[in-house]
Amino acid sequence: MKLLFEGDHGKALCEHCQQVVTTTYVRRNVPFSDGHGEAKDVLVGICDVCETVVAIPAQSTPAIKEARKHQLTPIEARLPAIYLDVLDAAMHVVTKEASVQTRKLFISYYLRELVETKAADRLQRTHYEFSQWFSKQMTCRHLTPSRSMKRLSMKVNSYVADDFIILLEATHMTRTDLLKSVIWHIQEDVIEHRNPVVISDLQRLTRVAM
C-alpha cells in the first residue's frame, strides 16, 4: 500500500468525464459512507479535468467510514456467588483498578481466546473438574455449600455475542455452565499459574478500556 501525500498524482476513471484521467491528491470534505454528515479535510484524488472526487485512498477510508452501529446483546446468568468472587479475585491480581465493568472485558477476552484455541473439550473438562474439586473442598473443610447466588450481567457487542454462541454450540453446555467454566479458566491462568502472557494482555486491555 502506497502512502499518499497532498500533491501526489495518479490515474483513475472519472464517471463525469467518462474517461481515464490524471488525478491530483488534495484535501476535501467528503460525505460519510452512510450519507449523514461529512468528514473534514480528507485526502482524496480529484479529476484534473473536472475536479470531481474520483479516488479515495486506503489511508482515507477509516475517516469517512461511519462506525457500524453495534447492537448490544445481553449475556446474563445467575451463578453461585463464589464464581463472581473468583472472577473478581483474578481481576484484582491483574489490576488494582478492577471494577464491576472489568468483568465484561475479562469474559469477552476469554471467549475470544477460547474460540481461537478451539478449547471446547477443555471447557467441558474444566467444568467437571471444578465441580469435583469444589465438593471435595466442602467435605474437607466441613462446610455446607452456600446458597448465595449472584447475577452476572453484561451487554456485549456482536463479535463477543458470536463467540459466546460458537462456544455454546461446540460444548453443548448451558449458558450458566459455560460461564462458570470460563471463569474457572481465568482462575487457572491468572490466579493459579500467573500466566505472564495472559496477565500482560489483560493489563493492557483494562488500561486502554478504562
Rounded CA separation 84/103 (Å): 9
For the chain, how many residues are written? 210
- Judge whether 209 and 105 are in contact, CB under 8 Å: yes
Report the amino acid identity of residue 159: Y
Site string for Zn ion, 29-48 (x = CB under 5 A): ------------------x-
| Of 111, 109, 131, the residue nearest 119 (C-alpha) | 111
Minimum CB distance to Zn ion smaller for 12 or for 93? 12
Amino acid, single-letter form, for residue 107? I
Q: How far apart are CA 16 and CA 5, in angstroms?
A: 24
Task: Report the nearest approach of Zn ion to the CB of residue 33 (Å).
Answer: 22
Can you tell me whether residue 158 is helix, strand or coil? helix
Instruction: Give the integer Cα–Cα distance in Å for 69 and 36.
Output: 14
Smallest distance from the beta carbon of 46 to Zn ion, in angstroms?
Answer: 8
> Nearest residue by C-beta to Zn ion?
47
Sheet order of strands, 9-14 included: 9-14, 19-31, 38-47, 53-55
State yes or no: residue 11 binds Zn ion (CB under 5 A).
no
The one among 9, 11, 16, 70 contacting Zn ion by CB under 5 A: 16
Smaller CB separation from Zn ion, 47 or 190: 47
Show contacts with Zn ion in window 46-65 (CB under 5 A): 47, 49-50, 52
Print the binding letters for residues 135-174 with Zn ion: x by CB under 5 A, - otherwise. Answer: ----------------------------------------
Stretch that binds Zn ion, among 6-14, 81-89, 160-168, 190-198 (CB under 5 A): 6-14
CB nearer Zn ion, residue 16 or residue 172 = 16
Helix (H), strand (E) at residue 21: strand 19-31
Min CB(15)–Zn ion separation in Å: 8
Instruction: Report strand pairing: 19-31 vs 38-47.
Output: antiparallel
Identified binder of Zn ion from the candidate list 12, 17, 26, 170, rule CB under 5 A: 17
Smallest gap from Cβ 113 to Zn ion, in A, equals 50
Binding residues for Zn ion, rule: CB under 5 A, are 14, 16-17, 47, 49-50, 52
